[in-house]
Structure 1
Amino acid sequence: MSSEDEDREGDAAAPPEQLALIRESVRRAKVPRAKPRTWRGADVAAELPVARVLVDKGVLHLDRYFDYAVPAELDADAQPGVRVRVRFGAGRHQVHGGRREGGGLISGFLIERRAESDYSGPLAALAQVVSPEPVLGPELLGLARAVADRYAGSLADVLQLAVPPRNARAERKPSPEPLPPPAPPEPGTFERYENGPEFLDALSRGASPRAVWNALPGPYWAEELARAVAATLASGRGALVVVPDGRAAARVDGALTGLLGAGRHALLTADAGPEKRYREWLAVRRGSVRAVVGTRAAMFAPVQDLGLVAIWDDGDGSHSELHAPQPHAREVLQLRAALDGCAFLAGGQSCTVEAAQLVESGWARPLVAARPQVRAAAPLVRTVGDGDLARDEAARAARLPTLAWQTVRKGLELGPVLVQVPRRGYVPRLACDRCRAPARCRHCAGPLEARDAGPLRCGWCGQGESDWHCPECGGFRLRAQVVGARRTAEELGRAFPAVPVRTSGREQVLDTVPGVPALVVSTPGAEPVAEGGYAAALLLDGWAMLGRPDLRAGEEALRRWTGAASLVRPQSEGGTVVVVAEPSLRPVQALVRWDPVGHAVRELADRAELGFPPVSRMAAVSGRPEALAEFLAAAELPGEAEVLGPVPLPVAEPGRPVRVGGPPVGERWERVLVRVPPGRGAALAAALKTAQAARMARNSRADGDTVRIRIDPPDIG
């Protein structure tokens, strides 16, 4: 029987995806021919006539390279790293290397040129070279493969995150000539840290130190990051800095421009627009620019001769990619430091448990200031607990305790005052006044609200509630659980009628505010920088941030508080912070002592005792109960793996936002957590990836049978 007859018979007996696997096994059993055959009539390149292509399809069972013939007319442009178009798709002509005829055009990357193919059948020809610009180099390809393996994802999905979309006009513009290395910078405010000048000196000499940096409060962190970049450039190497948002990127951008001048670094943020962003990215890839500052996507920036990777505020949720395979910028930069042998710097005014583990394991060294320097830079932190609120008539009447009012009045004599509210909006969520259990609807368990002081109604189903009582303690009185930023601004405006009130939140985020008396009400993460620093800050409803059912609730609350308090003037200049939270709680005590590193170390010890990440490696697997059970039964998990669950996931209600990675509206899903000890994370990811690929290849994944995998989920609460 001829090969074509075999194709026809196999096409009739098996679905396309299964057919691909059958033919792959047949191919492995055959002895490769000495010279590849090509599609009939094709005039192929005389040298290296085979192109190995990665097609842009992010399904796991197609996560491999495919061979195509290189037509003679495309020989010059079809070089490794360029974008190409090839014929690919389900149909009767599917073969290992490409398609003889039929199939749709799909984009891909040309990985390498070869003299022979290990596939003995006829090869389809490249349809088009999209651009002769090589955008995928060996270093970026190796990094993308490492990220895909770590997160149980496909290489194509990672490259969609790593290589920006093409812009022809940007490609046609030449990049500037590279500038010579600058002189090593002076330590500046880095002298405030133990071993700070030595760290910069090591970078200037071409060494590759790794450090976890606990930055002092105040406005100097951006300049200190810029000095680390300048020291790396002075050694003739490149540097990469990843920050959580555009505001932070603008601050580091300004600091670098002020320190080194224009033209030495690229700014990669989504705000730049596709053409400018791609032009900057090309300048980095071509070697015209050796330093990059950017948000999450910049973690893949192809900096040549990379000498330093740095991340600022690695606990910010913006560093976690939302698209498959959902890598975290910190982990990607750690991979880059290991693959490229470059320096690593994780900095922030707080400290994550993952960063503390890097120091605990000896992989990185601490870069911290002595306690006298911390006390000189930090504001005075005072607390108001539940007992104080119960005895405070002003707090019961107006939600703000007397100490907070006094702090505001005194602060307004010196400058602006920051008020951090954990929730945006106007509508308050309600809770029992006695036990603070959330007030929920008896019909759908949704949150009860009182809009504009009106009657109680459910925020989900809209039904009214006229006879509420607490199911926990029997109480009948309600209190505002978290009052939104807008309502807080109105209350403060009435209390201080002669003082301007500004708000900063999702609808409008302020970058800066003048250093004149004013009240600035902000949600966490949206606090603007005040000229000269805030005179005081109020951190309201701390118990609401600490009470979230999340393993990271304490760490996240401390990070939010530290970020806001760092904008306040030092205690020597009258700076005061009042946090409304129970003083005995660990995160509150860490804020009072200004000791986020100590808090992270103690949290790490607790995680080690309980076997939770980052001490262990974990994956979250979710789907409909039947599909989830089938997947787990088929997966060949490592022997040390421990399966926790399943537990039901919250059902997405119609009209409510669908959680990223969560179940579709109205579907009931379950989730399991799969935990392995240190050193077995790669085996866990490989097992889950293999099981998912086999599931897809069997063509059993209908819309209702989706199983989703996330390695190192940020939220396991």
Structure 2
Amino acid sequence: MSSENGRSGGVPEHGEQLALIRESVREAKAKAPKAKPRTWRGAPLAKTLPVARVLVDKGPVHLDRLWDYAVPEELDADALPGVRVRVRFGAGTRNVRGGRREGGGLLDGYIVDRVAESDYQGPLAAIAQVLSPEPVLSPALYELCRAVADRYAGSLADVLQLAVPPRHARIEAEPSPAPLPPPGAPEPGSWVRYPTGTAFLDAVARGDTPRAVWTALPGPHWPQELARAAAAALSSGRGALVVVPDGRDAVRVDAALGELLGEGRHVLLTAELGPEERYRRWLAVSRGSVRAVVGTRAAMFAPVRDLGLVAVWDDGDSSHSAQNAPHPHSREVLVQRAVHEKAAFLLGGFGCTVEAAQLVNTGWALPLAAARETVRAVAPAVRTVGDVDDSRDAAARAARLPSHAWQAAREGLKHGPVLVQVPRRGYVPRLGCERCREPARCGHCAGPLEAGDADGALRCGWCGQDAPPGWHCAECGGSRLRARVVGAGRTAEELGRAFPSVPVRTSGRDHILDTVPDRPAIVVSTPGAEPVAEGGYAAALLLDGWALLGFPDLRAGEEALRRWLSAAALVRGQEDGGVVVVVAEPTLRPVQALVRWDPAGHAMRELADRAELGFPPVSRMASVSGPPGDVADLLAAAELPEDAEVLGPVPLPVTAAGRPRRPGDPPPGERWDRALLRVRPGRGAALAAALKTAQATRLARRDGEPVRLRVDPPDIG
């Protein structure tokens, strides 16, 4: 089965795969010392390797270990490493690190290994049932999930819930298709626009493991470029994995792969498929029938055989960070896979995060970018307009647009659709006092007042109560309101009045458009929901830039630039008359980076600032949040690295009753504290291990309430 270079010369079919696993177990049994005959409640046990080490699918971190179980002789043939089993947890089970527990019920789990003896000399509970003979937890997937759990101070069971989809017995009974032979190496296509693009594809096709941070050129070509990189890995006889932020991006890359490779060589893995279809496709990947995967965040764990390329697109998008504990980020998971599975690595996007800049700065990856003259040719012209720009045109004032933005929209509509990006959805999501700019608050719960529709009625965004007439500012006594951030709905209404003969369409969380035709129209969209225009937009207006730049977070500038670049990349190039107008202070660093179309330079300068201040990714951080006493107890109990710096604890804002809770917010009305812990590079593993051990000890002793741990928190502002 192996070729001279050590690569697999072919992929075994599912039946052959099971045969290989059974053969390896038989070899291990033959080499294992003969154990004394044992019985479980009168039933004989397996004669060789009668002990299974089982990972119980139970989330608490203090139970994050393997447990020994006896293997009945009747289950010997099916109780192979990697299969799902059902065990009685707590009834005579033996932890491989010690301790016997009594009582408990049936729980699901996975067999990780079969051994000849347990270090526990008493009776072991037996495996109750083999749920399926399908080996879904391969050694490589187990090691990956173990590494992710350790990095993020989490439970291995929690990571496995993200990595292995729920079982569907009917799907397992279906045969998977036979694998297709490797395709030929693809043509470079639009990769020729990058000086080192063709060389990267050639290296992947040869079986090498190049690593690149790719600053993509604006335009519609990036899905085809990702598809060609994946095809290059397939041509070398290896697998490929591409992870993108959302289902719309996944569909575009899926279509590009289908057009390039044909049917049967790749699968799309997204939540929109439904549990049964997703499990069917996941099994095809696990069995080796398919060697290429494109999908959203959960696909980062896809068990691709002989992985040759991992690629992640737009790693700055928050969708890449899992919402469930321990919150792994797809970029970091794919970095680990590239190292441990010896695969090529490609991190691409229109923008560039400081983490991507760190990979280049340390030499772990090389930059892959186009020449400046190429960027200037394909990028749209970018103009800046300050917030205080005076709109002399009456129609521009009616649409709340500065004169230059109004003129760009009017001229763009002569040639095609115009995109208008608004930071918030809704009608007027946030109102403030016109005199002192203080937020307008609800008298009942102090929530933000909003204008829900064109009738001008004010209501609270938290409790929903209507505000009484005659509002007055509590700070200065002013009685006039102004829109602090105007939503997409209100913007669309005002633009519709300003351009009465032009159709106005909106795209946002409630209804996202995929594409718009190449004809004059105004498309008002929130960031991330911009539809693709056939032939590109003639112009784009990026409104209320101060709202993005003023967000109280360390990543505010980076995130604003990323959202602007994603929208501007949909606009026609400067040679075709494409124009982008950004309404923000022109002298700010992110605005200047947009004008120059230099996301990598902006990221490098941000990285230098982070290094001077000791912020991530130059350092490693973790957050501990919870009730004040419990946070203090955990910090006191944790054996932190000697160089660890504790920042805080500080109180978190109290969540008002009725306000929507974000992940990590305290329960309504409760006071929580948060502490940040910082260590130098290379000490992140020690910090995560110390926090995990302290959390496990507190849970085992039932000392207080569990606190929330998050390694590499996305927001530290």
TM over 0.5: yes
Write the mapping of 1:93-172 to structure 2, written as runs, cut at 5 A. Answer: 95-96=94-95, 103-172=104-173
Aligned to 1:524: 527
Give the Cα–Cα distance (whole angstroms) in 2 for the partners of residues 378 and 438 of structure 1: 38
Q: TM-score, normalised by structure 1?
A: 0.91
Aligned with 1:650 (options 645, 650, 653): 653
Distance 1:33 1:280 in 2: 41
SS where residue 432 of structure 2 aligns?
Answer: strand
Q: What is the TM-score of this pair, normalised by structure 2? A: 0.91
Query: Following the alignment from structure 2 to structure 1, what is the Cα–Cα distance between the partners of residues 202 and 614?
Result: 39
Amino acid at match of 1:311: V
Taking the aligned partners of 1:392 and 1:575, their CA distance within structure 2 comes to 23
Paired residue for 1:77? 78
**Partner amino acid, structure 1, of 2:679:** V
Q: Which position in structure 1 is the counterpart of 2:622?
A: 619
AA partner of residue 480 (structure 1): A
Structure 2 CA distance for partners of 1:484 and 1:36, relative to 1, 3 Å = farther
Cα shift at 1:448: 3.0
For 2:286, the aligned partner's letter is R
What is the Cα deviation at residue 37 of structure 1?
5.2
Asked whether 1:205 is paired with 2:176, we answer no
Q: Deviations over 1:79-115 (max 9, x none)?
A: 10000000014x7x56547989853110000111111
Asked whether the equivalents of residues 698 and 706 of structure 2 are also in contact (C-alpha less than 8 Å), the reply is no
2:510 aligns with one of 497, 507, 511? 507
Larger mean CA deviation between 549-558 and 111-120 belongs to 111-120
Does 1:633 find its partner at 2:629? Answer: no
**Does the residue aligned with 1:388 lie in a helix, a strand or coil?**
coil
Percent of matched pairs sharing the same residue: 74
Structure 1 residues 475, 367: closer, same or farther in 2, change over 3 A? Answer: farther
Q: Give 1:136's aligned amino acid.
A: L
Please state if 1:466 is matched with 2:470. Answer: yes
Q: CA contact under 8 A between 1:238 and 1:290: conserved in structure 2?
A: yes
Matched residues in 2 for 1:356 and 1:77: separation? 48
Distance 2:181 2:437 in 1: 62
The alpha-carbon deviation at position 669 of structure 1 amounts to 0.5
Q: Would the aligned equivalents of 2:424 and 2:487 in 1 still touch at CA under 8 Å?
A: yes
CA distance in 2, matches of 1:380, 1:234: 39
Give the match for residue 481 of structure 2.
478
Distance 2:187 2:437 in 1: 54
**Aligned residue in 2 for 1:195:** 196
Range that drifts further, 354-363 or 458-467: 458-467
In structure 2, the partner of 1:710 is: 710
Separation (CA, whole Å) in 2 of partners of 1:209 and 1:692: 39
Question: Residues 48-87 of structure 1 correspond to what in structure 2 (within 5 A)?
Answer: 48-87=49-88
User: After superposition, where does 1:409-488 map in structure 2 within 5 Å?
Assistant: 409-433=410-434, 436-441=437-442, 444-451=445-452, 452=454, 454=456, 458-460=460-462, 462=465, 463-464=467-468, 466=470, 468-469=472-473, 471=475, 477-488=480-491
Write out per-residue CA displacement over residues 399-421 of structure 1, whole angstroms, 9 at most, x where no aligned residue: 21121221111111111111111
Matches within 5 A, 1:670-689: 670-689=673-692
Aligned length: 680
Given that 1:378 and 1:570 are in contact with CA atoms closer than 8 Å, whether structure 2 keeps it comes out as yes
Alpha-carbon distance in structure 2 between the residues aligned to 1:348 and 1:425:
28
Distance 2:645 2:657 in 1: 35
1:271 aligns with 2:272: yes
Q: Name the CA distance, whole Å, in 1 between partners of 2:371 and 2:695.
A: 50
Note if contact 1:101-1:124 (Cα within 8 Å) is conserved in structure 2: no
Q: 2:493 aligns with which of 469, 476, 490?
A: 490
Match of 2:227 in 1: 226
8 Å contact kept, 2:462–2:660: no
Aligned to 1:18: none
What SS does the corresponding residue of 1:129 show, helix, strand or coil? Answer: strand
Alignment of 1:176-187 (within 5 A): 176-187=177-188
Shift of 1:261: 0.7
Which segments of 5 or more consecutive residues in structure 1 lack a partner in the other structure?
A: 1-31
Unaligned runs of 5+ in 2: 1-32
CA contact (8 A) 2:399 2:497 kept: no
2:216 matched to 1:215? yes
RMSD: 2.1
Partner Cα distance (1:99, 1:47) in 2: 24
CA distance in 2, matches of 1:470, 1:599: 41
Cross-structure match for 1:17: none
Q: Distance in 2 between matches of 1:580 and 1:100?
A: 64
Q: Which moves more between the two structures, 94-103 or 519-528?
A: 94-103
Contact 1:87 1:99 in 2 (8 A): no
Matched residue SS, 2:389 = helix
Deviation at 1:457, TM superposition (A): 5.2
Please tell me the residue identity of whatever aligns with 1:559: R
Helix, strand or coil at the partner of 1:127: strand
Does residue 348 of structure 2 align to residue 347 of structure 1?
yes
The Cα offsets for residues 601-659 of structure 1, whole Å up to 9 and x where unpaired, read as 11101111111111100001000111111111111111111111112212222222111
The question of whether the paired residues in 1 share the 8 Å contact of 2:212 and 2:346 is answered with yes
| Deviation (angstroms), 1:228 | 0.4
What is the distance in 2 between the residues matched to 1:379 and 1:193? Answer: 18
- Alpha carbons of 1:75 and 1:389: their partners in 2 closer, same or farther (altered >3 Å)? farther
Q: Name the counterpart of 1:554.
A: 557
The alpha-carbon deviation at position 469 of structure 1 amounts to 3.9
1:36–1:347 distance in 2 versus 1, CA, 3 Å: farther
Equivalent in the alignment of 2:588: 585
| Contact in 2 for aligned 1:37/1:120 (Cα 8 Å) | no
Aligned partner of residue 48 in structure 1, secondary structure: coil
Q: What secondary structure does 1:486 align onto?
A: helix
CA 1:390–1:674 in structure 2 vs 1: closer, same or farther (change >3 Å)? farther
Residue 640 of structure 1: SS of its match in structure 2?
Answer: coil
Structure 1 counterpart of 2:373: 372
Find the counterpart in structure 2 of residue 314 from structure 1: 315
- AA in 2 matched with 1:41: G
The alpha-carbon deviation at position 449 of structure 1 amounts to 2.9
- Assess if the C-alpha contact under 8 Å between 2:621 and 2:713 holds in 1: yes
How many angstroms does 1:444 deviate by?
4.8
Q: Structure 1: how far apart are the matches of 2:100 and 2:630?
A: 33
Deviations 1:304-353 (A, max 9, x none): 10011100000000000011111000000011111111111100011001
Q: Distance in 1 between matches of 2:42 and 2:102?
A: 12
Query: What residue is the counterpart of 2:19 in the other structure?
Result: none
Amino acid paired to 1:111: V
Cα distance in 2, alignment partners of residues 187 and 36 from structure 1: 63
Give 1:114's aligned amino acid. Answer: V
Kept after mapping to 1: 8 A contact 2:398/2:494: no
Separation of aligned partners in 2, 1:270 and 1:247? 12
Measure, in 2, the Cα distance between the counterparts of 1:297 and 1:267: 12
Is the alpha carbon distance of 1:100 and 1:426 closer, same or farther for their aligned partners in structure 2, counting shifts above 3 Å?
closer
Q: Residue 604 in 1 paired to residue 607 in 2?
A: yes
User: Separation in 2 of the partners of 1:460 and 1:263?
Assistant: 49
- The answer on whether the counterparts of 2:214 and 2:347 sit within 8 Å (CA) in structure 1 is yes
